[in-house]
Amino acid sequence: MSDDPISDWILSEGNATQITRTSPIGGGCINNARRYDTDAGSFFVKTNRSIGPSMFEGEALGLGAMYETRTIRVPRPFKVGPLPTGGSYIIMEFIDFGASRGNQSVLGRKLAEMHKAGKSEQGFGFDVDNTIGSTPQINSWTSDWIEFYGKHRLGYQLKLILDQYGDSTIYQKGKRLVKNMAPLFQNIVIEPCLLHGDLWSGNISSDKNGEPVILDPACYYGHNEAEFGMSWCAGFGGSFYNAYFEVMPKQPGFEKRREIYLLYHYLNHYNLFGSSYRSSAMSIIDDYLLMLGV
């Protein structure tokens, strides 16, 4: 293996003859990020000294799938590989961000266009498992959405909470909700749509032309409404939802399902950051158990 596989790729397949500068980019809490400036343009490179290439492979496949829809702008992934001293890297397109997060209605419309264009013949899931933050996200292909969401999203997080904190109360109540949540999905058609999967304000930006850019995905094919699961820290306004639903019409019962999709991310935050997120998750579970009469 080369001592510097990143520079080697940039100076060969990246079509550069000279790297003029590298500079650190802040913002990430899991990986290190650098900008590589060359005579063939700039590249964005993330490295992680402690994790093998599988995490970045999942990210690259997600970015690639979103890129292929030709709907909303995402950084194009170029190369993933191992580092000689351990760890891994990903090289992708460098996008010069604009000053704002862009136009909310354009973001809503383009996100809906991605959901409409990105379809799966294999059901719900993704070709590889990936991560949501640093938590593993299991994407085993499943034909039924309620089964997929109950087992690989809510159920997986609940089991992590039980293992990590011994919180049998939230585990047992959560499992009861999973077992009884089918009525929330009555009278709707659920098609597998390509989801970004972790759409919060830190993963939404805009380019120099004001076009929205989304990044750092946790992609899978799922119910389009699950995309709004991080809306509690995404700042989506009325113009975002209005533009979205013009392309992907709102389905009956949308409001009563909203919090079932927030729950996944509250449970994940409980696992990642501790018990300050427990009450939000518990409140959602208790409300649904009451609503469903179970």
Confidence of residue 1 (pLDDT cuts 50, 70, 90): confident
Distance between CA 281 and CA 277 in Å, rounded?
A: 7
Confidence of residue 286 (pLDDT cuts 50, 70, 90): very high
- Whether 16 has a pLDDT exceeding 90, the answer reads yes
Q: In terms of residues, how long is the chain?
A: 294
Give the residue, 105 or 2, on which the prediction is more confident: 105
Q: Where are the beta strands (DSSP E) in 26-102?
A: 32-38, 41-48, 77-82, 88-93
Distance between CA 102 and CA 233 in Å, rounded?
A: 16
Q: What is the pLDDT of residues 143-174, one digit of tens each?
A: 999 999 999 999 999 999 999 999 999 999 99
pLDDT for 29 equals 65
Mean pLDDT of 226-231: 97
- Does 287 participate in catalysis according to the annotation? no
- Whether 287 has a pLDDT exceeding 80, the answer reads yes
pLDDT for 28 equals 64
Express as a percent the part of the chain with pLDDT over 90.
91
User: What are the residues facing 204 on neighbouring strands?
Assistant: 214
- Candidates 246, 197, 185, 245; CA nearest to 221 is 197
Q: What is the pLDDT of residues 56-96, one digit of tens each?
A: 999 999 999 999 999 999 999 999 999 998 999 999 999 99
pLDDT for 227 equals 98
And the tokens for 105? Answer: 């209605």
pLDDT for 161 equals 98
Query: CB 171: neighbour CB atoms within 10 A?
Result: 19
* Residue 290 CB partners (closer than 8 Å, separation 6+): none
Which whole-number Å values give the CA distances from 218 to 35, 199, 273, in the listed order? 22, 9, 18
Q: Coil, helix or strand for 53?
A: coil
- Please, what is the average pLDDT of the chain? 96
pLDDT for 226 equals 98
- Whether 278 has a pLDDT exceeding 70, the answer reads yes
User: What are the residues facing 217 on neighbouring strands?
Assistant: none
Confidence of residue 291 (pLDDT cuts 50, 70, 90): very high
Q: Which helix (H) or strand (E) element contains residue 88?
A: strand 88-93
- Whether 101 has a pLDDT exceeding 80, the answer reads no
Q: Of 167, 198, 207, 287, which one is the catalytic site residue?
A: 198
Q: What is the pLDDT of residues 19-53, one digit of tens each?
A: 999 999 976 667 899 999 999 999 999 999 888 88
Residue by residue, DSSP assigns 169-188 as HHHHHHHHHHHH-GGGGTT-
Least confidently predicted of 91-105, 244-258, 274-288: 91-105
* Residue 283 CB partners (closer than 8 Å, separation 6+): none
Q: What is the pLDDT of residues 169-222, one digit of tens each?
A: 999 999 999 999 999 999 999 999 999 999 999 999 999 999 999 999 999 999
